[in-house]
Amino acid sequence: MTNMDHEFHHNDFEFAHAAGERLIDQNYSATSYWKDVWSNFKKNKGSLIGSVIIAIIIIMAIIGPSMNDYTYKQIHGGQECLVPRIPVIEKLGIYDGYHNGVNQYAEKGVPDTYYWFGTDTQGRDIWTRVWSGTRVSLIIALAAVVIDIVIGMVYGLVSGFFGGMIDSIMQRFAEILNGIPTLVIVTLLGMVLPAGITSIIFALMLTGWIGMERIARAQVLKVKEQEFVLASRTLGAGKFRIIFNEILPNILGQVIVTSMFSIPNAIFLEAYLSFLGLGVPAPMASLGSLVSDGYKSMTTFPHILIIPVLVMAVLMLCFNLFADGLRDAFDPKMINK
């Protein structure tokens, strides 16, 4: 017997199924695209935790300022720089109103008063000011998303689809706007508009959408020559119908992800401008202005700085985690199996 010859026996092979077993095809129900997105999103635990924390912060921004009897601009004379004091928890020896071994509340004659986050250098309640400031930051974040979708997405769709001279002119215009520093725009707007949320939103309307425009244009250039777009053209569909009915649904995932990533940038922009004194005017509070105020007394009363910094850091981190989860959900190839 040569090396190429093989000798088989009757027990060398066996059936995959038992004799007489009935084999029935299994049917799997089809799932929609959005169900797949949700299924992939749930696999990212960090994104789920981030989305829960974002929901909690949004709820606190809505109801937090009304949870006590103080307002964000109410000044309490003689109660400046009080450290946090929280009922029940003070019995554990923390958040009990003591600073350097001295009960500040008893010393200033308000032993029955509680400030959950303490007071600032002017005697204003930090709890109310922090959640009022968070509300301002979330309003600006929402405005950034709307501006990205309404201006940036539409601008990129039109520029990428028509191409040629139209695309060239639109891109040069966007590059000119992008070359103007945001700080200069906000400063100039502050001369003609009331300082605060209005000027920041107008600054976002001028330059904040350019990142989205570039993403949308790149996606259109990739999609517009595919077969389903050519089929729509052959069937006589109009240009804007093709843009919004054929191309947009196929790039919507990337658009949503990009808009979510713009939220932390908008929050940081507001904080940066408020820190420089170009944000919301006093006595209105924002996270940036609270950080600016707390920075001045960082060494003596660190709680005035630490609390708004923590809220802002957690908010930005959670939005980044949420956006990262959306990116993975819309692009299943990035899911770690």
The confidence score (pLDDT) of residue 29 equals 58
pLDDT (tens digit per residue) in 33-48: 678 778 888 888 888 9
* Whether 275 contacts 288, CB under 8 Å: yes
Q: 3-class SS at 29?
A: coil
The answer to whether residue 238 scores a pLDDT higher than 70 is yes
pLDDT (tens digit per residue) in 278-326: 777 777 888 888 888 888 888 888 889 999 999 989 998 998 888 888 8
The answer to whether residue 128 scores a pLDDT higher than 90 is yes
Distance CA 16, CA 24 (A): 14
pTM of the predicted structure, to 2 decimals: 0.79
Mean pLDDT score of the chain, rounded to an integer? Answer: 83
Q: pLDDT band at residue 1, thresholds of 50, 70 and 90?
A: very low
The answer to whether residue 254 scores a pLDDT higher than 90 is no
The answer to whether residue 335 scores a pLDDT higher than 60 is no
**To 5 degrees, how large is the angle CA 37–CA 61–CA 206?**
70
pLDDT (tens digit per residue) in 158-214: 999 888 899 999 999 999 888 888 778 877 777 777 767 888 888 888 888 888 899
The confidence score (pLDDT) of residue 337 equals 47
More confident call, 223 vs 29: 223
Distance CA 256, CA 33 (A): 15
The confidence score (pLDDT) of residue 20 equals 58
The confidence score (pLDDT) of residue 261 equals 82
* Whether 254 contacts 330, CB under 8 Å: yes
Distance CA 75, CA 120 (A): 9
Q: pLDDT band at residue 333, thresholds of 50, 70 and 90?
A: low
